[in-house]
């Protein structure tokens, strides 16, 4: 707008959606919970006319420089070298790599960084990246828990190192603690990491006593916690910590495996709980950072529950964009 000022610019009221067919090509053994059918289920869910107003982008491949924001070059090279010419290779008991894995995980990181770029540039108010493999268990020098690269941590570091932000909050409501994200950011006061997760299950981290440099806020949930305990954890602990941090951007590690139907945990949430936490985080973003939210898919292993929960999450992001 020629001759205008910042106050003249109105942020477009839309939600970006990222995905790519390559996410299906990350192969895992038969019966593995983090399977290509997760992407097929989401593709069907987001073909519904209710999502026609999403602004869709094919997930781009990230740069190596983006990967090395969170991981040493030696680690990136080791993951590339582990990719088999055919078949599948186990990196540990849970984490597998196949010929399509490197493109998939680099597009997951690339989508996350591109979403950051576009939301910060004012092209949209928020974004959701539907990708696999997930990322929040990948530590700085260790793949684990289905994850190869620490996607949410990379996204936050990209916003700081490449886009000039000073404070980014990562909020992780996956049922498993994001040990990888915490490992990458726990000594970086520019990034707040907050997590609710079921205590006493994989990966065994995420105690309240783990506080980093005052930037880590963990709230373990009990088995069969349900909606009340989950919501109280946010209202009483997580949301006040984020508000005090005053973020310029909120990155969500959106895992839907705390759903009651998920086979890997027992927190027993329902779709309205994911709607509630999404709304609360969007409200917080409206107050502190002009609604800027980038949400990244993590877990969720019952296909119906994943589809329904992701759908209500994105509908809530869309509503926040339209009403912002």
Sequence ranges of the domains in the chain: 11-323
Is residue 26 part of the annotated active site? The answer reads no
Q: Is the dihedral of CA 112, 217, 122, 70 positive or negative?
A: negative
Structure tokens at 243: 């508000």
Q: Per the residue annotation, which of 20, 131, 136, 137 is the catalytic one?
A: 137
Q: Is the dihedral of CA 182, 109, 283, 173 positive or negative?
A: negative
Which stretch of 7-16, 21-30, 35-44, 189-198 has the lowest confidence by average pLDDT? Answer: 7-16
Would you state the pLDDT for residue 10? Answer: 55
Would you state the pLDDT for residue 150? Answer: 98
Would you state the pLDDT for residue 7? Answer: 38
Which stretch of 1-10, 64-73, 81-90, 185-194 has the lowest confidence by average pLDDT? Answer: 1-10
Report the pLDDT averaged over residues 239-246. 98
**Is 14:125 a contact under the CB 8 Å cutoff?**
yes
Report the pLDDT averaged over residues 7-35. 88
Q: Whole-model pTM?
A: 0.96
Q: Give the number of residues written for the chain.
A: 324
Would you state the pLDDT for residue 172? Answer: 98
Report the pLDDT averaged over residues 292-309. 98
Q: Please, what is the Cα angle at 87 between 86 and 90, to 5 degrees?
A: 120
Report the pLDDT averaged over residues 206-231. 98
The model's pLDDT over 101-139, given as tens digits with 9 standing for 90+, comes to 999 999 999 999 999 999 999 999 999 999 999 999 999
Q: Is the model's pLDDT at 11 over the cut of 60?
A: no
* Segment holding 276, helix H or strand E: helix 271-289
| Domain 11-323, CATH | 3.40.800.20
């Amino acid at each position: 707008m020629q001759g205008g000022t910042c106050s003249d610019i109105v942020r477009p009221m839309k939600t970006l959606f990222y995905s790519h067919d390559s996410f299906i090509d990350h192969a895992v053994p038969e019966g593995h919970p983090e399977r290509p059918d997760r992407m097929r289920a989401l593709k069907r869910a987001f073909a519904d006319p209710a999502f026609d107003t999403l602004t869709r982008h094919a997930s781009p491949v990230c740069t190596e420089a983006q990967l090395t924001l969170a991981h040493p070059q030696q680690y990136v090279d080791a993951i590339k070298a582990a990719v088999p010419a055919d078949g599948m290779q186990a990196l540990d008991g849970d984490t597998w790599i196949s010929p399509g894995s490197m493109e998939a995980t680099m597009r997951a990181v690339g989508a996350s960084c591109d979403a950051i770029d576009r939301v910060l540039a004012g092209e949209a108010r928020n974004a959701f990246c539907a990708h696999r493999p997930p990322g929040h268990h990948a530590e700085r020098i260790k793949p684990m828990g289905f994850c190869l690269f620490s996607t949410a941590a990379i996204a936050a570091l990209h916003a700081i190192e490449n886009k000039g932000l000073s404070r980014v909050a990562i909020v992780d409501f996956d049922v498993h603690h994001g040990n990888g994200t915490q490992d990458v950011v726990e000594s970086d006061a520019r990034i707040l990491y907050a997590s609710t997760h079921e205590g006493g299950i994989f990966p065994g981290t995420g105690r309240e006593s783990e506080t980093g440099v005052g930037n880590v806020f963990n709230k373990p949930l009990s088995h069969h916690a349900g909606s009340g305990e989950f919501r109280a954890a946010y209202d009483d602990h997580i949301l006040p910590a984020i508000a005090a941090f005053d973020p310029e951007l909120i990155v969500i590690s959106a895992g839907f495996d705390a759903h009651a139907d998920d086979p890997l945990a027992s927190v027993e949430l329902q779709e309205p709980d994911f709607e509630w936490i999404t709304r609360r985080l969007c409200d917080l973003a409206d107050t502190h950072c002009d609604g800027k939210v980038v949400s990244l898919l993590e877990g969720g292993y019952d296909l119906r529950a994943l589809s329904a929960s992701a759908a209500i999450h994105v509908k809530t992001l869309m509503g926040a964009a339209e009403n912002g």
